Structure 1
């Protein structure tokens, strides 16, 4: 809790949420509890950028709040002028990821935070893209009041495939009393206790104190790297992403110029005449032993291919990925059908996605019947 508070620039953290989306929900519940404690029940809206992770509006809706979208500028950052008219006394919070989903740093974040606070609302930080910020910039110093950290994305645990995850939530000073219970607290004599007596707390949001294994791994990672090691993670994540971007931009369309952070987005192949789509590129990557990066997200671009090497990949792995991406771009021009019909080396090639959606097989018995 102390380490995460220092890294995030927050006063206190709860470790209870089981995942990033669970952390978002918990953080928004804290924000609702804060407004309600002040008798400000009319604040029922959450402003979410159009480039946000899909869990942001989903979490707001589950928390019983109304989602209001704010548009982005051509460079992918929040349009501050479009934000102004949305801010009134019905807004509970604004959710932001910084750097944003396009991998670009939101340079207007301080001004945005001032505007949101002036309207009486709070700032929520989605910690999904915290990697490049480690030791460089803290969400608390940017003006955020509540945040979550994806321990499984930022501190060593491999993520994907449904877990395991951990989404601790931190708050600035003055909001600690709203955090869920139970929490581990340090007594004045240096001993520890389990606290569950806060009258303003959300109560329990998980069956335990969170995913212990992920927390332990993250703590070991943080202590092993230390302050100096953590400060290297951000620059390395930024270096890796820009290295891949600059090595492929002659063949893949780069919609946003400038230095990205730990991830960036291509808008498909630069040569659109081949008819090869981002989905085709993703399928062809399987033949070369690479699982595809995120595709068709963010929704800002038609053929989005979001590449996120972060700080963990070696130069050798990055070079191998670059070589394969260049080979696929070459195939798209010289022999596009090879790419369009990929993958060729997997047990299943291209399932009928439409038929699967219209006629889902969701039970084991149905699966056996369909196979027979």
Structure 2
């Protein structure tokens, strides 16, 4: 008689796999091979022979000291490492608000990994890479339509790089008008992405930050007081990282234009407005997208990302170069752009992510993109209602109103009652196989946590996430030590934060690690103190 299959419990029985896996260099055995690579025929091309003198200066004197492993051991090593992590393919990854962690269709990986894409080299003659140049050009056309702006550059390698590209173009524009020396202020808001303020500051601008009004919207009266002939630009995220959409955004842009400034739209939070509203209709001069967020290329723990900078007609001359242009039926790399801000990154851009984004957009089409936004907004507002039903949770600002694609919540009430912080709740939630994020600084919302379900998750998955969150809150009140001593089901139970603040102890390469901790080279440093508990790292 067969036993019945037990129903899935309301709270998933989760325990992280622990393999105590060494790093790959420690597994290396001289002479092991995963693939036998045949040597090419013993002849050099004429081109290589002509450049023999040049190549001699960069030729290695010895083979690189790469790890040597059989194929089975390589597969086992990386599978074990993957099991020691949480990620979008493993768990309900709702908790990465402001970073739009969503499902990346695996068919896009199939498209990317064809030899037609994988065997390309950025230094090939443009006549021999017409296919990839066409994909770049077509992706630019699609993003120009999605934003409503004139031209797009895909050169930047992530969102912050795209913001830097924007500030570089803003500076070049004002310099071309003879106002580069007088327009030295950039206005942003406290709930816009911090990279806007950071890039403007790094470029030498004075940054003016607008605080929210009583309802959480950027204070328009504060904007009126801030603008002047010194204003170079407004750099603003909308919806902001609270999930609140500023419906008066056109008024903000018009006020800045009224004093001769430019307006740059940070659209890293575009996932809830695709196909619904565009930068053009709000009057923006520039905008940027994060392809590794909105357009479903892997976020990859902060890289490799891909950014896209879009501009109106008057800023086209300043786009990063070279650009990819269509001339007749051919695609050419155009480096003859005297007003361009120049290269922001090497070559054309992050080609694998451009291919993924292009495939995602083409698969969905215009109606599909709008449906992405509609489902993301629906999921977010369903999650909002469920979270606010948990005693101790709140969503400051715009109370009683809907949010777009994320919410900056607060556990302040629960913290005052139990003394348990948002960070401790997030650590405990990992014991249920869930990811959770607090907030980037500054912590204007007390005891924050920022959730963004996107369009990827079903109602049942959102319910599972909320059930785990509610269970942790119950523990905060009834079993506080369970939360305070978490995580319990993870491979690592504690991190020595002192090491994170001691650069002299860092070792970011295998050679540096050997030098510092085994004394096999110069610049050695004392070995770390012994740790009795292997779960403490």
**Offset, 1:362:** 0.7
User: Which of 266-275 and 204-213 deviates more?
Assistant: 266-275
**Offset, 1:163:** 0.8
Distance in 1 (CA, whole Å) between partners of 2:499 and 2:362 is: 49
Partner residue, 1:361: 505
User: Which of 159-168 and 27-36 deviates more?
Assistant: 159-168
User: Which of 211-220 and 237-246 deviates more?
Assistant: 237-246
Distance in 2 (CA, whole Å) between partners of 1:117 and 1:132 is: 26
Partner residue, 1:263: 406
How many corresponding residue pairs?
A: 371
The answer as to whether partners of 1:15 and 1:168 remain within 8 angstroms in 2 is: yes
**Offset, 1:358:** 5.4
Partner residue, 2:294: 154
Q: Does 1:309 align with 2:463?
A: no
**Offset, 1:168:** 1.1
Which secondary structure state, in structure 1, belongs to the residue aligned with residue 288 of structure 2? Answer: strand
Which secondary structure state, in structure 2, belongs to the residue aligned with residue 92 of structure 1? Answer: strand
Which secondary structure state, in structure 1, belongs to the residue aligned with residue 403 of structure 2? Answer: coil
Partner residue, 1:144: 284
Which secondary structure state, in structure 2, belongs to the residue aligned with residue 246 of structure 1? Answer: helix
From 482, 486, 505, the equivalent of 1:338 is 482
From 15, 36, 43, the equivalent of 2:175 is 36
The answer as to whether partners of 1:10 and 1:172 remain within 8 angstroms in 2 is: yes
Partner residue, 1:12: 151
**Offset, 1:45:** 1.1
Q: Does 1:202 align with 2:346?
A: no
Distance in 2 (CA, whole Å) between partners of 1:270 and 1:367 is: 46
**Offset, 1:345:** 1.6
Q: Does 1:370 align with 2:528?
A: yes
Distance in 2 (CA, whole Å) between partners of 1:18 and 1:359 is: 26
Partner residue, 2:422: 278
From 57, 60, 71, the equivalent of 2:197 is 57
Cα distance change, pair 148–359 in 1 and its aligned pair in 2 (3 A):
closer
**Offset, 1:216:** 0.6
From 253, 262, 268, the equivalent of 2:394 is 253
**Offset, 1:298:** 5.9
**Offset, 1:180:** 1.1
Partner residue, 1:229: 368
Q: Does 1:119 align with 2:259?
A: yes
Distance in 2 (CA, whole Å) between partners of 1:164 and 1:315 is: 30
Distance in 2 (CA, whole Å) between partners of 1:360 and 1:279 is: 27
**Offset, 1:194:** 1.1
Distance in 1 (CA, whole Å) between partners of 2:304 and 2:499 is: 31
Distance in 2 (CA, whole Å) between partners of 1:150 and 1:222 is: 14
Distance in 1 (CA, whole Å) between partners of 2:396 and 2:478 is: 25
Q: Does 1:131 align with 2:271?
A: yes
Cα distance change, pair 43–346 in 1 and its aligned pair in 2 (3 A):
same
The answer as to whether partners of 2:422 and 2:438 remain within 8 angstroms in 1 is: no
Runs of 4 or more, structure 1, over 3 Å off, are: 294-298, 365-368
- Give a deviation string over 1:18-66, Cα, whole Å, max 9, x none: 1100000001101110000000121111111111222111111222222
- Give a deviation string over 1:322-357, Cα, whole Å, max 9, x none: 110011111111111111111112222232435642
User: Which of 307-316 and 30-39 deviates more?
Assistant: 307-316
**Offset, 1:158:** 2.2
Distance in 1 (CA, whole Å) between partners of 2:313 and 2:361 is: 23
The answer as to whether partners of 1:102 and 1:298 remain within 8 angstroms in 2 is: no
Partner residue, 1:163: 303
The answer as to whether partners of 1:269 and 1:329 remain within 8 angstroms in 2 is: no
Q: Does 1:3 align with 2:146?
A: no
Partner residue, 2:216: 76
Distance in 2 (CA, whole Å) between partners of 1:345 and 1:367 is: 30
Q: Please report the TM-score for the alignment, with normalisation by the length of structure 2.
A: 0.67
Cα distance change, pair 92–337 in 1 and its aligned pair in 2 (3 A):
same
Distance in 1 (CA, whole Å) between partners of 2:217 and 2:317 is: 33
Which secondary structure state, in structure 2, belongs to the residue aligned with residue 241 of structure 1? Answer: helix
The answer as to whether partners of 1:297 and 1:305 remain within 8 angstroms in 2 is: no
From 333, 344, 350, the equivalent of 1:211 is 350
**Which 5+ residue runs of structure 1 have no aligned equivalent?**
none
**Offset, 1:191:** 2.4
Partner residue, 2:491: 347
Partner residue, 1:23: 162
Distance in 1 (CA, whole Å) between partners of 2:517 and 2:411 is: 36
Distance in 2 (CA, whole Å) between partners of 1:286 and 1:310 is: 20
Distance in 1 (CA, whole Å) between partners of 2:283 and 2:433 is: 42
**Offset, 1:300:** 2.1
Distance in 1 (CA, whole Å) between partners of 2:438 and 2:348 is: 31
Partner residue, 2:467: 323
**Offset, 1:303:** 0.8
Distance in 1 (CA, whole Å) between partners of 2:491 and 2:350 is: 35
**Which 5+ residue runs of structure 2 have no aligned equivalent?**
1-139, 508-512, 519-526, 531-537
Q: Does 1:105 align with 2:249?
A: no
